[in-house]
Amino acid sequence: MPSINCKCGEKLGYGDIPNPIEWLAISDETYDGYAGMIDSETLYQEMKSILKCFKCGRLWVFWDGFKSEPVCYAPE
Ligand SMILES: [Zn+2]
């Protein structure tokens, strides 16, 4: 399973479906472009994956998909 190493040492995998440590985010502008019933796969394509480390609370956001490096956000 593909994974990244969190700065706290925890290994965060992103191959599980569904993934218990993954969140999906979509911009309000993009979401606003949809109306009514839409295909979940279509919506999925628009969403950014976020991995949450439950050990340290950091969020790893894949702004440009899994092929690009994620950006790390740490709680203050
Ligand atoms: Zn961590």
| Gap from CA of 59 to ligand 1 centroid (Å) | 8
User: Looking at residues 38-58, what average pLDDT do you find?
Assistant: 95
Range of the domain at 23: 3-29+41-73
User: To 5 degrees, how large is the angle CA 45–CA 19–CA 68?
Assistant: 50
CA 72 to ligand 1 centroid distance, Å: 10
pLDDT on residue 16: 84
Domain-embedded: residue 35: no
Number of domains in the chain: 1
CA distance 68 to 72: 13
pLDDT at 17 over 90: no
**Is there a domain that residue 45 lies in?**
yes
Judge whether residue 15 has pLDDT over 90: no
Per-residue tokens: 49 = 């994956």
Give the pTM: 0.90
pLDDT in tens, 32-41: 999 899 999 9
- For ligand 1, the distance from its centroid to the CA atom of residue 3, given in whole angstroms, is 13
